Amino acid sequence: MTQTVGLTELRRRGVERLMARYDPSPGHPRQVCFLAERLAACLSGELLLGKADRLILSCAALLHDIGWHVGSAKHHRRSYDLIKADGLSGFDPEQVELIAQVARYHRKAVPKLRHQAFARLNQMDRQTVEKLAGILRVADGLDRSQRSAVADLNVDLGPRRATIRLTPRLDDLDAELWAAGRKQGLLETLLKRSVVLQVVRDHEQPGMQSC
């Protein structure tokens, strides 16, 4: 008797299949997905992220770089096109659109109403894309060298700044700090706080918030 595949498993298979088809180096998207999920867990209360939002983010993180299959130029836009063309088994068209848009905004321009696809979304979905793209951009920057140099992270939210405390796996995080710093602007706007990246080598430092 054929076993029925649950919707969650169907979705997972669809994303994994698309990633395997177009991304021969899955280590980077998996690390970005891990970091994005950690950021989302820490910021879910502040940004009002639900389980459905975090699923969209995880899928977008895994698929954000598949556009490299077409070429490096504007690969973020090509990622959007490939996700839309595939349709992703188990997701409805609205969810596919959100996954594609979050992946599209992992680099370069932030979401703007002059972008036709973004402008077609309703206000709630536009806010969702902005929140998730803001997280994905920082997570992508934190694996700039594609060495999985960040082992974990936590976030300390203060009244004026959000400190992202990074537990390093490797000694040199210069590339990650530089790249994430360049891409943190959207997240700062959403949080209404400056974002500070801090490498924490002592896990017992006072003020460290587990999330």
Residue 1 has pLDDT above 60, yes or no: no
Tokens of 64: 């954000």
Q: Is pLDDT above 70 for 182?
A: yes
Strand partners, 154: 165
Q: Report the Cα 62 to chain-centroid distance in Å.
A: 8
Q: Is the pLDDT of residue 181 over 50?
A: yes
Residues 51-98 have pLDDT tens digits of 999 999 999 999 999 987 666 667 778 899 999 999 898 999 999 999
Instruction: Report the b/e string of 63-97 with b at 16+ CB within 10 A.
Output: bbbbbbeeeeeebbebbbebbbebebebbeeebbb
Q: How far is CA 30 from CA 14, 27, 60, 207, in A?
A: 15, 5, 11, 29
Report all structural domains of the chain as residue ranges with CATH numbers, in order of start: 7-146 (1.10.3210.10)
Under a CB-based contact definition with an 8 Å cutoff, are residues 73 and 44 in contact? no
Q: Computed over its alpha carbons, how large is the radius of gyration of the chain?
A: 17
65: its two tokens? 């770089």
Q: Name the token pair of 188.
A: 């700062």
Give 5-62 pLDDT, tens digit per residue.
566 888 989 999 999 999 878 899 999 999 999 999 999 999 999 999 999 999 999 9
Contact 155, 148 (CB under 8 A): no
pLDDT, position 205: 54
β-sheet with 150-157: strand ranges across = 150-157, 161-168, 194-199
Place of tokens 């703007």: 112
Q: What is the DSSP letter of 25?
A: -
pLDDT at 176 exceeding the cut of 90: yes
Here the tokens at position 176 are: 């990650």
What is residue 3's predicted lDDT score, i.e. its pLDDT? 43
**pLDDT given at position 107:** 86
pLDDT at site 76:
77
Q: Average pLDDT, stretch 162-190? A: 97
pLDDT of residue 4: 45
- 123-141 and 51-63 are packed helices; what angle lies between their axes, rounded to 10 degrees? 50
Using one digit for the tens of pLDDT, what is the confidence trace for 87-116?
A: 898 999 999 999 999 999 998 899 999 999
Distance CA 206, CA 102 (A): 35
